[in-house]
Structure 1
């Protein structure tokens, strides 16, 4: 029991240290409570935002009336809702992660795209981390190592091994 508690604490600390590796933001599409509706100019809204890979879009809407479809540029421009990439619609408070730096296109089907319910976002790569102004020390080197993916995978693998196989 004591060994498992130690392993759980160890995994928890490691996860907390890893969480801040990539900073991401949650963008409430259009702003407000019900963000996905026909009363918003999504071009103006997206032009006043900066999107980075890893960021999230939050869509709040009435799912009985609206939906959210990820589409290609041509379908976005022509409001074609039959050949979508992904249907994001789940419960009316849905999120979508912008995982790659590239343009993303979303429309509302059911005829609402023609009323302006469409969104284009250009996602930029994560900005580089600021370089430390203090000299490199063994402690800062250890922190950099913790943020490396290989080290993270190794630590989590070891912790789960201790938890479940020993």
Structure 2
């Protein structure tokens, strides 16, 4: 016996945080960047940065809001943080051959991924590191 389950999925989307290949840097408004993006379960976040200068930490909402960090070495004030809302993918329903408007509400948000990125060192620009976060919520 074979069981087939109808599931709706979406191709994974790669989001380059900040918009470019090496755009994870100080004094960029990542909130403005995130507003123009849509994040769904299964997508990817790409951080291109110099691993001698920066790191990426995942923190909870309280730590994000209050700039509380552990193992970040105190460089949180360069605005290198971003909060994103991750949604479940919900395809538009088709009724009588037409697409209905699917309005997202707060209940559609499954998780909030909060990242706080901190500058580790400010003096070396030797190598670039790439960090991917897979959205698993």
TM-score (normalizing by structure 1): 0.48
Q: Work out whether 1:48 is the aligned partner of 2:36.
A: yes
**Higher fraction of helix:** 1
| SS at structure 2 position matched to 1:68 | strand
Paired residue secondary structure (1:37): coil
Displacement of 1:79 in angstroms is 1.7
Aligned to 1:80: 68
Q: Which one of 7, 13, 20 corresponds to residue 25 of structure 1?
A: 13
Partners of 2:67 and 2:81 in 1: CA distance: 8
1: CA distance between counterparts of 2:66 and 2:50? 24
Give structure 2 stretches of 5+ with no counterpart. Answer: 1-8, 98-137
Q: 1:86-165 maps to which residues of 2 (within 5 A)?
A: 109-128=72-91
Tell whether 2:46 aligns with 1:58.
yes
Structure 1 residues 62, 37: closer, same or farther in 2, change over 3 A?
Answer: same
Shift of 1:132: 10
Q: Distance in 1 between matches of 2:92 and 2:58?
A: 30
C-alpha spacing 1:25/1:130, structure 2 compared with 1 (3 Å): farther
How far residue 133 of structure 1 moved from its aligned partner, in angstroms, is 8.6
- TM-aligned CA deviation for residue 65 of structure 1: 1.0
Deviation digits for residues 32-65 of structure 1 (CA, Å, limit 9, x no counterpart): 2212211310111111111111111000001111
Q: Any conservation in 1 of the 2:15–2:45 contact (CA below 8 Å)?
A: yes
**Structure having greater relative contact order (Cα 8 Å, sep ≥ 6):** 2
CA positional deviation for 1:82: 1.2
Aligned-residue Cα RMSD (Å) equals: 2.4
Q: Which runs of structure 1 show a deviation greater than 3 angstroms over 4 or more consecutive aligned residues?
A: 129-134
Please report the TM-score for the alignment, with normalisation by the length of structure 2: 0.57
Structure 1 residues not aligned, in runs of 5+: 1-20, 84-108, 135-166
Structure with greater strand share of residues: 2
